[in-house]
Structure 1
Amino acid sequence: MGMPDAEGHGPSDGLPDLPPEWGRVVVPDDASALAEEAEQLRRELRRRASGTRWRRRLGLTPHPDGRSPLALPALILLVALLTTIGGLLAVTWPRSPRGTERPTVLPASPGTLTGRPLPALDLVDAGQSPVPLRGLLPAMIILVDACACTEQVAAAAAAAPAGVSVVTVTGGRTVGPDPVTGGPIRALADPAGGLRAALHLEPRPGTATALLVDRSGTVHRVIPDLATTADYRADLTQLVR
């Protein structure tokens, strides 16, 4: 039977025997005094019921026979698979590497070759023999890869002073015809296109481009569109000074 409480009363005043470590148990006369504890207990029960319900929906609750749920390994496998796919996408996603991007280089204008040395190029003659271009200086070099421009070439040959070579240059290996038979013109070809590349100037149909180079190998002037001799006669004279 129950033991008297701390104040010498009977066994918990009609309550069944309780463990002594619980101490004195007081039952209030008004049950409303336990409303706060009751509400806290109800919240705890609802939280546990909600957690159990979600675990049951996800298949995470053990089977009645004690077997482990199958949804838990599947969930772990799904998370691992998504993590692996995310890592692969991060590695293989195309992107521009920082620090290795090259700035955009704008094409140089023909004037950038003016005042600079003529590139040391070897062209070929009609017999495909190499001809060093620097060995013909001072010279007026006319690119006729986009236009034979026979009249302009003949006028340049007539205007060139003594000592200034007039050289026509075609693309490929085919040397253009001499517009002035027996005239002071050297017809060459540029198989590699090195002279046109050095100019940074694309060929335009019907247009001949000319370079005036002095005896030291410096480009004195670039004429993108060879026209009348009055436009460059004075420059030809300066090449032999």
Structure 2
Amino acid sequence: MGKPDAEGHGPADGLPGLPPEWGRVVVPDDASALAAEAAQIRRELRRAAGLSGGPRALGLPLLVLLVAVLTTLAGLLVVTWPRANRGNDRPTPAPYSPPATLTGRALPALDLVDASNAPVPLRGLLPAMIILVDGCPCPDRVAEALAVAPAGVSVVTVTGSRTVPAAPANQRQVRALADPAGGLRSFLGQPARPGGLTALLVDRSGTVTRVLPDLGSVDTYRQDLTALTA
């Protein structure tokens, strides 16, 4: 074993001066005597290195997990949010509005058929109020139009099948025709709507003067109907 200096502090066996607060320092002759202390120091260093490197080592996996969780939550929010009010917040379909250019255009030269399946040129019945009844027969509405139509103006009902509907009983006869080829519907550019009537007012020259997408009360078209006789 080595020996300290005479006072137990300071240099011993050739060692440089050490701080007094370290106390008595003994330097062994055999370095193997320090193996236990060295092993303890190595354990402490490894523990310190593990603590200092742990957060960095775990940082990337935690970041990936956080991004995955946020992405999943965002996807659930997008999927469920629009469905929350789906039952109470449905958009109301806009009513059909015929093209603005349809009024003022010439009625096509269409040949329809009557109850005996004989061809009837539609332009040969002008001036006329032509009512498409393939969405609804609605005989009461047809009878109202017939009652206010002036003399000389034909009231024509048109269905899309080959079956011609019966005309309502009235002092004047409605001309009931069928349009199996769908030429008149194609001219209008709109499908038949259940429960709805569509009407065209056409003057004697064959020009469409008004389109009624949803035939209302007679007060909404009485003046236009009278004007067809001019």
Q: Which bin holds the TM-score, normalised by the shorter protein?
A: 0.5 to 0.7
Report whether the alignment pairs 1:135 with 2:135: no
Instruction: Specify which of 146, 149, 167 is matched with residue 138 of structure 2.
Output: 149
Query: For the Cα contact (< 8 Å) 1:111–1:222, is it kept in 2?
Result: no
Instruction: Specify which of 210, 221, 224 is matched with residue 221 of structure 1.
Output: 210
Give distance in 2, aligned partners of 1:130 and 1:195: 15
Give distance in 2, aligned partners of 1:131 and 1:138: 15
Q: What residue in structure 2 maps to residue 164 of structure 1?
A: 153
By how many angstroms is 1:180 displaced?
Answer: 2.3
By how many angstroms is 1:150 displaced?
Answer: 1.0
Query: Mind listing any 5+ residue stretches in structure 1 that lack a counterpart?
Result: 1-106
1:96-153 C-alpha deviation (Å, 9 max, x unpaired):
xxxxxxxxxxx99344311000010000000000000000000000000010011110
Q: What residue in structure 2 maps to residue 199 of structure 1?
A: 188
Instruction: Specify which of 102, 105, 108 is matched with residue 119 of structure 1.
Output: 108
| Change in CA separation of 1:126 and 1:222 when aligned onto 2, cut-off 3 Å | same
1:34-64 C-alpha deviation (Å, 9 max, x unpaired):
xxxxxxxxxxxxxxxxxxxxxxxxxxxxxxx
Give distance in 2, aligned partners of 1:117 and 1:126: 26
Q: Give TM-score, length-normalised by structure 1.
A: 0.54
| Change in CA separation of 1:110 and 1:207 when aligned onto 2, cut-off 3 Å | farther
Query: For the Cα contact (< 8 Å) 2:115–2:177, is it kept in 1?
Result: yes
By how many angstroms is 1:196 displaced?
Answer: 0.5
Residues 27-106 of structure 1 mapped to structure 2, 5 A cutoff: none
Instruction: Specify which of 181, 195, 212 is matched with residue 201 of structure 2.
Output: 212
Query: Mind listing any 5+ residue stretches in structure 2 that lack a counterpart?
Result: 1-95
By how many angstroms is 1:201 displaced?
Answer: 1.2
Q: SS state of the match for residue 163, structure 2?
A: coil
Q: SS state of the match for residue 101, structure 2?
A: helix
Q: SS state of the match for residue 147, structure 2?
A: helix
Q: Give TM-score, length-normalised by structure 2.
A: 0.57
